[in-house]
Amino acid sequence: MRYLFIVKSALVAAVAALAPGQGASAASEDFYKGKTITVICGLAVGGNYDMAARLVGKYLVKQLPGSPSLVVQNMPAAGGIAAMNHMYNGAPKDGTTIAVMQRAMPQQAYLEESGIRFDPNKFAFLGTMSSYAGDAFPIFIMADRPVTSWQDIQAGSDKKIVLGAVGAGSTNLTFPLIAKHALKLNIDVIRGYAGAPAIYLAMQRGEVDGQSAGLASIKAAQRAAWEAKQFRVLIQFGRTTRLPELADVPTGQELAADPDARALIAFAEAPFFMAMPFIAPPDVPKDRVEALRAAFDRTMVDPGFRDEAVKFDLDISPLNGEAVAKLVRDMATTPKAVIEQFKTIAHAR
């Protein structure tokens, strides 16, 4: 499975010269004049997705032809599924309603999770704010442990590591279990911790050796320990290539020994690459989808938008709408047996 990354400089070059509304049809401009754009968020007010919905909406309406007004609507029910069901089945299909989608929603749809009544391939993807381009999701341990690299815990070795995790469905459990079962590494997992802070304490006390978490989160939560080199990274997930900062650490894809293992890891990692996607409902007229996509692309390079995103600590490493749609299509090609294996791992208790 290949992932299309849009280099920031290329995106800037492609859209920076466009004035708001340029390239949009006259029909789109006439349509949006005097209209209100509704941006739906499936989570409560105050979180990252809500902040992204409000910030993108604020700048996107300035970039649309006809300068429509803005309303943000929160629909925090069923963990965001209700909002996506509404976008698919009930939202106006005229280009006046868009939504920020939680990154794992397409994956959940392919897992046939309860309550989902949408086909992710039929949404019109406008783009994603974040593609995890500058981050990784490593498995890391305390540097004073006797394991010095992933080779030390290969199958057949008498060494192993014990990782802490939250519980079923948590990313910090899913990837250690993938490393254990798909990469055949000697890993045990202790579940039931309240979150990453509790696991850090358990690492310091010697209850566990490490955990799996986003690199940016590690640095934010444990900056002093990271800078003092108290952690040792063994594997990095969420990457198709090695993060330059972790150039000596292999990716999960590199260590996968067979196509099914690589497909499993690719399916698990896909949500990282579309970390903050925006969508329109199915069947929106093509010219309005094009207008929304162009407005989204211009928003991503708007200096005011980027300055505000930094203040909110939101990652800006965008992909355009077609690149996100390709990610979702690629997920759909995952063999059914691999999806069932992922479901077993993700629901493990």
Q: What CATH number corresponds to the domain at position 290?
A: 3.40.190.150
- Note whether residue 342 is domain-resident: no
For residue 297, tell me if it sits in a domain.
yes
This prediction's pTM? 0.87
Tell which residue, 126, 116, 136, has the closest CA to residue 242: 136
* Predicted local distance difference test score (pLDDT) of residue 26: 65
347, part of any domain: no
Query: What pLDDT, on a 0 to 100 scale, did the predictor assign at position 22?
Result: 52
Domain membership of residue 200 (yes or no) is yes
Same domain? 115 vs 188: no
What does the pLDDT look like over 238-262, one tens digit per residue? 999 999 999 999 999 999 999 999 9
Q: Sheet containing 97-100: which strands, arranged edge to edge?
A: 69-74, 36-41, 97-100, 277-280, 124-128, 319-320
Q: Helices in 152-284 by DSSP H: which ranges?
A: 171-181, 196-205, 215-221, 223-227, 252-255, 259-273
- 13-49 pLDDT per residue, tens: 444 444 455 555 566 778 999 999 999 999 999 989 9
Last residue of a domain, one of 269, 286, 302: 269
pLDDT tens digits along 160-218: 999 999 988 889 999 999 999 999 999 999 999 999 999 999 999 999 999 999 999 99
Q: From the DSSP assignment, how many helices (H) and strands (E) are in the chain? A: 15, 11
- Residue 87 and residue 105: Cα distance in Å, rounded? 13
Instruction: For residue 239, give both structure tokens.
Output: 């990457």
Asked if residue 314 lies in contact with residue 130, where contact means CB atoms within 8 angstroms, the answer is: yes
- Tell me, yes or no, whether 145 and 255 share the same domain: yes
Same domain? For 327 and 258 the reply is: no
Distances (CA, A) of 130 to 1, 10, 102, 156: 19, 15, 12, 39
Task: Render pLDDT for 78-105 as a digit per residue (tens, 0 to 9).
Answer: 989 999 999 999 999 999 999 999 999 9
Can you read off the two tokens belonging to residue 113? Answer: 């999770």
What band does 140 get if pLDDT is binned at 50, 70 and 90?
A: very high
Q: Do 279 and 265 reside in the same domain of the chain? A: no
Q: How many domains does the chain have?
A: 2
Shared domain check, 92 and 152: no
* Dihedral (Cα; 233, 239, 240, 241), 10-degree rounding: -50
Q: Are 290 and 4 in contact (CB under 8 A)?
A: no
Q: How far apart are CA 270 and CA 262, in angstroms?
A: 12
| Structural domain for 168, as ranges | 137-269
238 and 151, same domain (yes or no):
yes
Query: Does residue 206 belong to any structural domain of this protein?
Result: yes
Of 302, 321, 288, 325, the residue nearest 55 (C-alpha): 302
Instruction: Flag whether 345 is in a domain.
Output: no
Q: What is the CATH number of the domain that holds 231?
A: 3.40.190.10
Last residue of a domain, one of 269, 286, 310: 269
Residues 56 and 278: beta-carbon distance below 8 Å: yes
Question: CB within 8 A of 346, min separation 6: which ones?
Answer: 111, 168, 169, 174
Same domain for 88 and 210: no
Percent of the chain with pLDDT over 90: 86
Between the alpha carbon of residue 261 and those of residues 18, 180, 242, 267, 274, the distances in Å are 43, 11, 18, 10, 21
Tell me, yes or no, whether 111 and 25 share the same domain.
yes
Q: Which of 219, 246, 269 is the last residue of a domain?
A: 269
Residue 2 lies in a domain: no
One domain for residues 171 and 215: yes
Instruction: Name the DSSP letter for residue 235.
Output: E
Q: Do 263 and 300 sit in the same domain of this protein?
A: no
Is 317 a member of any domain? yes
Q: Which of the four pLDDT bands, split at 50, 70 and 90, describes residue 4?
A: very low
- Enter the tokens of residue 174: 């899913």
288 and 242 in a common domain? no
Asked if 144 and 260 sit in the same domain, the reply is yes
